[in-house]
């Protein structure tokens, strides 16, 4: 068991509250906390500038054009005027240099700007150039009084920081941040920023010292120094993130006791030799070996299993659960039990059907428990869990409710991980004296870079091979104008005996509209298929569970040929005879989600198709994204592209993961450095897990003084 606690920081100047810094004070201190999450000196030090300006480089107003990005101009203020009423109220000032004149505009912070501006004075102005009715403007510029002689000095790069209107109103402009940071660096010395990266890494990658890096990221002597500073601090960020994850994993490996399943017995062997309906792929065998090694080690397994849709994760889970059932508890001598938890009722039902069919001739007791299990049944199931007669419990999160007690819970499978939180995983652990081994399965391919950061504390297996004989799913993008042809195509396929899905987007913010679209779509589909033998099921989230289930079952049995639905059918649903997937408004889906949807077809022996429908007008961006899907069937490639396009923040399941909130690093652009940081951290942890070697002491002490950071330590 682990206990979470927070190590109090040693007295350290960097942990001083920001209001103690000269020039800040209580009021500004409060504002810095609220607006920029700057609480301490350290936070301010890590509030990095987003760019630097060379104060000696001044643009002429006449040289600004619609292609100009940011500009710095100096000139005389000739006019200030408040224009417009209420919401269109704005302050407009005219600035003139020897080549022309331009407008400076404020929509917010007007009273603050008014105080600052005096007609006839000279100002230095910096900001993003825009054009409005042919007039060159800068909206909300950084602005300060300009003394021409000050700029004559030698070239120096002045940092510019993000600021907000509220901060600016208190005088905390982007450039005021520079003054504060400068004052802070003056107060600090090298000893306040001790080295935290081992010597060998410093020299291997030729990193500059920590002190130099912090000085140079704010006030670089040259562009080159700035580059060095960023490189070093990015590595530091990635390296410590990897160290923390790696230490969590290593602590677990070393200390978290688990049940030892060292026996592969009759149940596994009988099933494998007699009932397994196909040959395992090499990838499945490899993963099974990894699992067997874990569960035989005496430590608790915590493994993430990734495999594209249809790669055959379920059978790996079943075989593992059979091994659990082959092993008996050391003291009560009853067999170990397993749970398989799925995110939805439909999926739980499906897993239950698959598994109970496969083991029907074996002495294995499998039960299904969901929110809608009848009371009598539920009582029987709970009893079987508690007295140990049940071997495998399949269900929704109902299986981890407190009422469910197991005699010997030894193995837990969680399907489609991103829908289950860590808290729920932890709950499973508390059911017996030792935690069960945990296998988390996901079909949402996670690019390696993301897996390293978001799930770095889990062990990680991949099924990177599909069972033989699968045909790639032909994917095309079609515009609305081609709808009649798409429908004709569906009709032809159905006449050959196939089934089709038509999926509508469901975006929660506009659930009502989506729902109306779905209903409209349903009527439309009906009118396209007036044939008496064409039956249509509809499934969506607003239906009562029973109705949803009936409609789903009719499609599964082949009583209906077309399934119109929202994304409730996204994960796991298995209807091998369905060979067409039509996605409406495909541009509204993420790429990985489209890939998931596409995985609903291509499950049988027939050639399958995925048709991505969009309006006639879609952005070039959207077309490019859909093209990726048309070009490849490989979920990992799709996920990599998705990550590149959307950035890590948007990938499902990672939003809450603070691990991705890097200040400097970006796991897409800096993936090479991420790998280097990962390797460095792994090597240290493998050779010196307690960080006692002299070389690694800087790492250890840095990890310990990280104020407020969570540290995990073993208790008893
Ligand atoms: P997923 O990884 O998406 O959960 P499933 O476990 O549902 O995939 O497997 C998809 C289909 O492939 C199932 O019908 C399963 O029986 C079949 N299957 C799994 N492994 C193999 C294999 N090695 N050879 C042939 N078919 C397989
Ligand atoms: Mg599955």
Average of per-residue pLDDT across 47-54: 87
Q: What's the length of the chain? A: 716
Q: Is the CB of 276 under 6 A from ligand 1?
A: no
Residues 407 and 497 in one domain: no
Yes or no: say if 264 and 326 are a contact pair by the CB < 8 Å rule. yes
Domain membership of residue 691 (yes or no) is no
Average of per-residue pLDDT across 60-73: 88
Residues 426 and 498 in one domain: no
Number of neighbouring beta carbons within 10 Å of residue 35: 16
Give the pLDDT of residue 707: 43
Give the pLDDT of residue 148: 56
Give the closest residue (by CA) to ligand 1 atom 10.
310
Yes or no: say if 119 and 44 are a contact pair by the CB < 8 Å rule. no
The DSSP line for 610-664 is EEEEE-S---HHHHHHHHHHHH---HHHHHHHHHHHH-GGGSTT-TT-GGG--SS
Q: Is the CB of 127 under 6 A from ligand 1?
A: no
What is the chain's mean pLDDT, rounded?
A: 86
Average of per-residue pLDDT across 54-59: 79
Yes or no: say if 23 and 175 are a contact pair by the CB < 8 Å rule. no
Distance 451 CA to ligand 2 centre (A): 19
467-506 pLDDT, tens digit per residue, is 887 888 999 999 999 999 999 999 999 999 999 999 988 7
77: its two tokens: 């203020």
pLDDT-based confidence at residue 32 (cuts at 50, 70, 90): very high
- Residue 10 pLDDT > 80, yes or no? no
Domain membership of residue 240 (yes or no) is no
Residues 536 and 406 in one domain: no
| Residue of higher predicted confidence among 136 and 589 | 136
pLDDT-based confidence at residue 657 (cuts at 50, 70, 90): very low
Sign of CA dihedral 343, 344, 348, 351: negative
* Structure-token match 């005879």, residue found: 577
End of a domain among 125, 153, 181?
A: 153
Q: Distance (Å, rounded) from C-alpha 678 to C-alpha 239?
A: 7
Domains held by the chain: number: 3
pLDDT-based confidence at residue 8 (cuts at 50, 70, 90): very low
Number of neighbouring beta carbons within 10 Å of residue 693: 13
519-527, long-range: CB < 8 A, 24+ apart: 521/564, 521/584, 522/564, 525/562, 525/564
Q: Is the CB of 565 under 6 A from ligand 1?
A: no
Number of neighbouring beta carbons within 10 Å of residue 174: 21
End of a domain among 632, 662, 683?
A: 632
Distance 309 CA to ligand 1 centre (A): 9
Q: Is the CB of 311 under 6 A from ligand 1?
A: yes
Q: Is the CB of 280 under 6 A from ligand 1?
A: yes
pLDDT-based confidence at residue 715 (cuts at 50, 70, 90): very low
CA dihedral 327, 329, 333, 336 (to 10 degrees): -60
Distance 311 CA to ligand 1 centre (A): 6
Yes or no: say if 99 and 63 are a contact pair by the CB < 8 Å rule. yes
Measuring CA to CA, which residue among 291, 275, 443 is closest to residue 360? 275
Give the closest residue (by CA) to ligand 1 atom 25.
467
**Ranges 464-478, 526-540, 630-644, 658-672: which has the least confidence:** 658-672
Measuring CA to CA, which residue among 285, 384, 380 is closest to residue 334? 384
Give the pLDDT of residue 475: 96
| Residue of higher predicted confidence among 708 and 137 | 137
Q: Distance (Å, rounded) from C-alpha 672 to C-alpha 678?
A: 10
Yes or no: say if 377 and 368 are a contact pair by the CB < 8 Å rule. no
Distance 556 CA to ligand 1 centre (A): 17
**Ranges 1-15, 244-258, 619-633: which has the least confidence:** 1-15
Q: Distance (Å, rounded) from C-alpha 268 to C-alpha 319?
A: 7
* Structure-token match 């996670």, residue found: 446
Sign of CA dihedral 540, 545, 547, 549: positive
Q: Is the CB of 596 under 6 A from ligand 1?
A: no
Instruction: Give the ranges where 221-367 is alpha helix by DSSP (H).
Output: 223-255, 266-270, 282-295, 313-326, 345-358
Measuring CA to CA, which residue among 162, 514, 574, 582 is closest to residue 357? 574
Give the pLDDT of residue 496: 93
The DSSP line for 447-510 is -HHHHHHHSTTSEEEEE--PPTTPPPPEEEEEEGGGHHHHHHHHHHHHHTT-EEEEE----GGG
114-126 pLDDT, tens digit per residue, is 888 989 888 889 8
159: its two tokens: 């940092």
Q: Is the CB of 443 under 6 A from ligand 1?
A: yes
Domain membership of residue 172 (yes or no) is no
Distance 602 CA to ligand 2 centre (A): 14
Yes or no: say if 49 and 161 are a contact pair by the CB < 8 Å rule. yes
Domain membership of residue 97 (yes or no) is yes
Alpha carbon distances (Å) from 226 to 51, 69, 208, 214, 229:
10, 21, 11, 10, 5
Residues 278 and 368 in one domain: yes
Give the closest residue (by CA) to ligand 1 atom 19.
312
Of the residues 310, 600, 601, which should be mutated to test ligand 1's pocket, given the most ligand atoms within 8 Å of the CB?
310
Q: Is the CB of 539 under 6 A from ligand 1?
A: no
- Residue 153 pLDDT > 90, yes or no? no
Give the pLDDT of residue 265: 93
**Ranges 261-265, 300-304, 507-511: which has the least confidence:** 507-511
Q: Distance (Å, rounded) from C-alpha 252 to C-alpha 592?
A: 31
- Residue 149 pLDDT > 60, yes or no? no
- Residue 693 pLDDT > 90, yes or no? yes
Domain membership of residue 527 (yes or no) is yes
Residues 382 and 495 in one domain: no
| Residue of higher predicted confidence among 513 and 299 | 299
What CATH number is associated with residue 113? Answer: 2.40.50.140
Average of per-residue pLDDT across 294-314: 90
Q: Is the CB of 467 under 6 A from ligand 1?
A: yes
Domain membership of residue 408 (yes or no) is yes
Q: Which of 506-515, 519-528, 622-631 has the highest average model confidence (pLDDT)?
A: 622-631
- Residue 709 pLDDT > 60, yes or no? no
What CATH number is associated with residue 507? Answer: 3.40.50.300
* Paired residues of 337 in beta bridges: 409
pLDDT-based confidence at residue 516 (cuts at 50, 70, 90): confident
Domain span including residue 560: 474-632
**How remote is the C-alpha of 591 from its chain's centroid?**
14
Distance 315 CA to ligand 1 centre (A): 7
- Give Dmax (Cα) for the chain: 94
Burial 567-590 (b: 16+ CB within 10 A, else e): bbbbbbbbbebbbbbbbbbbbbbb
Residues 338 and 481 in one domain: no
| Residue of higher predicted confidence among 270 and 527 | 270
Domain membership of residue 273 (yes or no) is yes
Q: What is the DSSP letter of 274?
A: I
Average of per-residue pLDDT across 458-462: 85
Yes or no: say if 51 and 210 are a contact pair by the CB < 8 Å rule. no
Q: Is the CB of 604 under 6 A from ligand 1?
A: no
**How remote is the C-alpha of 50 from its chain's centroid?**
24
Give the pLDDT of residue 92: 95
- Percentage of the chain beyond pLDDT 70 is 90
Alpha carbon distances (Å) from 156 to 153, 222, 223, 365:
9, 8, 10, 76
Give the pLDDT of residue 647: 65
Yes or no: say if 96 and 78 are a contact pair by the CB < 8 Å rule. yes
Number of neighbouring beta carbons within 10 Å of residue 644: 12
End of a domain among 632, 652, 681?
A: 632
Q: Is the CB of 350 under 6 A from ligand 1?
A: no
Q: Distance (Å, rounded) from C-alpha 623 to C-alpha 620?
A: 5
- Percentage of the chain beyond pLDDT 90 is 51
189-210 pLDDT, tens digit per residue, is 888 999 999 999 999 999 999 9
Average of per-residue pLDDT across 149-176: 75
- Residue 151 pLDDT > 90, yes or no? no
Residues 582 and 504 in one domain: yes
Q: Distance (Å, rounded) from C-alpha 594 to C-alpha 380?
A: 40
Residues 148 and 70 in one domain: yes
Q: Which of 47-56, 146-155, 326-335, 438-447 has the highest average model confidence (pLDDT)?
A: 326-335
Ligand nearest to the CA of 306: 1
Residues 495 and 383 in one domain: no
* Structure-token match 């410093």, residue found: 202
Give the pLDDT of residue 194: 92
Q: Based on C-alpha coordinates, what's the Rg of the chain? A: 31
**Ranges 147-156, 294-303, 625-634, 677-686: which has the least confidence:** 147-156
Average of per-residue pLDDT across 165-170: 86
Number of neighbouring beta carbons within 10 Å of residue 199: 12
Give the pLDDT of residue 235: 97
pLDDT-based confidence at residue 213 (cuts at 50, 70, 90): very high
Residues 435 and 511 in one domain: no
Yes or no: say if 33 and 201 are a contact pair by the CB < 8 Å rule. no
Give the closest residue (by CA) to ligand 1 atom 9.
312
Residues 428 and 515 in one domain: no
**Ranges 175-179, 296-300, 421-425: which has the least confidence:** 421-425
Of the residues 352, 416, 443, 467, which should be mutated to test ligand 1's pocket, given the most ligand atoms within 8 Å of the CB?
467
pLDDT-based confidence at residue 654 (cuts at 50, 70, 90): very low
Average of per-residue pLDDT across 291-310: 91
Measuring CA to CA, which residue among 80, 89, 87 is closest to residue 113? 80
Domain membership of residue 410 (yes or no) is yes
Residues 497 and 383 in one domain: no
Average of per-residue pLDDT across 512-533: 82
Give the pLDDT of residue 351: 92
């Amino acid at each position: 068991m682990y206990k979470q606690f927070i190590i109090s920081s040693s007295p350290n100047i960097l942990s001083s509250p920001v209001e103690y810094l000269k020039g800040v004070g209580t009021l500004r201190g409060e504002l810095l906390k609220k607006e920029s999450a700057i609480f301490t000196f350290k936070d301010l030090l890590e509030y990095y500038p987003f760019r630097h300006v060379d104060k000696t480089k001044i643009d002429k107003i006449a040289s600004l054009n619609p292609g100009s990005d940011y500009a710095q101009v100096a000139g005389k203020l000739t006019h200030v005027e408040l224009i417009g009423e209420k919401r269109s109220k704005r302050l407009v000032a005219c600035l003139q240099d020897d080549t022309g004149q331009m407008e400076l505009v404020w929509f917010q912070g007007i009273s603050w700007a008014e105080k600052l501006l005096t007609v006839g004075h000279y100002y230095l102005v910096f900001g993003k150039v825009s054009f409005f009715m042919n007039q060159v403007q800068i909206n909300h510029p950084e602005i300060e009084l300009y003394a021409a002689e000050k700029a004559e000095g030698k070239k120096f790069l002045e940092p510019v920081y993000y600021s907000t209107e509220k901060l600016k109103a208190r005088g905390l402009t982007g450039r005021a941040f520079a003054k504060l940071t400068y004052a802070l660096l003056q107060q600090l010395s090298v000893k306040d920023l001790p080295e935290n990266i081992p010597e060998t890494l410093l020299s291997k990658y030729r990193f500059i010292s920590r002190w130099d890096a912090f000085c140079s990221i704010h006030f670089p002597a040259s562009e080159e120094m700035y580059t060095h500073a960023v490189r070093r601090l990015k590595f530091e960020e990635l390296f410590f993130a990897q160290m923390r994850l790696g230490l969590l994993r290593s602590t677990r490996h070393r200390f978290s006791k688990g049940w030892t399943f060292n026996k592969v017995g009759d149940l596994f062997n009988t099933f494998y030799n007699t009932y397994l309906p196909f040959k395992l792929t090499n990838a499945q065998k490899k993963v099974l070996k990894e699992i067997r090694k874990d569960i035989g080690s005496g430590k608790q397994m915590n493994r993430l299993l990734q495999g594209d849709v249809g790669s055959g994760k379920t059978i790996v889970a079943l075989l593992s659960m059979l091994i659990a059932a082959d092993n008996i508890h050391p003291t009560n001598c009853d067999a170990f039990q397993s749970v398989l938890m799925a995110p939805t009722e439909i999926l739980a039902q499906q897993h239950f059907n698959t598994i109970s069919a496969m083991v029907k001739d074996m002495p294995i007791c499998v039960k299904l428990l969901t929110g809608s299990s009848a009371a009598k049944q539920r009582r029987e199931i709970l009893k079987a869990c508690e007295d140990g007669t049940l071997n495998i419990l399949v269900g929704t999160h109902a299986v981890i409710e407190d009422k469910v007690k197991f005699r010997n819970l030894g193995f837990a499978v969680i399907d489609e991980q991103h829908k289950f939180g860590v808290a729920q995983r932890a709950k499973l652990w508390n059911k017996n004296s030792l935690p069960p081994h945990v296998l988390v399965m996901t079909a949402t391919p996670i690019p390696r870079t993301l897996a390293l950061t978001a799930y770095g504390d889990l062990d990680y297996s991949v099924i990177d091979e599909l069972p033989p004989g699968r045909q790639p799913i032909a994917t095309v993008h079609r515009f609305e104008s081609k709808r009649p042809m798409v429908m004709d195509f569906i009709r032809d396929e159905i006449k050959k005996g196939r089934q089709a899905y038509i999926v509508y987007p469901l975006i929660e913010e506009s659930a009502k509209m989506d729902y109306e679209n779905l209903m409209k779509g349903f009527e439309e589909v009906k009118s396209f298929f007036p044939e008496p033998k064409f039956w249509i099921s509809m499934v969506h989230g607003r239906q009562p569970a029973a109705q949803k289930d009936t409609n789903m079952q009719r499609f599964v049995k082949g009583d209906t040929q077309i399934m119109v639905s929202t994304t409730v059918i996204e994960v796991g649903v298995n209807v091998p005879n369905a060979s067409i997937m039509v996605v409406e408004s495909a541009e509204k889906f993420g790429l990985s989600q489209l890939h998931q949807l596409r995985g609903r077809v291509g499950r049988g022996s027939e050639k399958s198709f995925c048709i991505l429908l969009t309006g006639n007008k879609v952005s070039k961006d959207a077309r490019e994204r859909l093209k990726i899907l048309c070009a490849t069937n490989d979920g990992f490639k799709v996920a990599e592209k998705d990550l590149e396009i959307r950035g890590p923040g948007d990938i499902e399941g990672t939003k809450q993961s603070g691990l991705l909130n890097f200040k400097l690093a970006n796991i897409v652009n800096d993936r090479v450095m991420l790998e280097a940081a990962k390797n460095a951290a792994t090597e240290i942890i493998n050779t010196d897990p307690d960080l006692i070697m002299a070389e690694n002491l800087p790492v250890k002490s840095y990890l310990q003084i990280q104020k407020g950071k969570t540290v995990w330590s073993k208790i008893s």
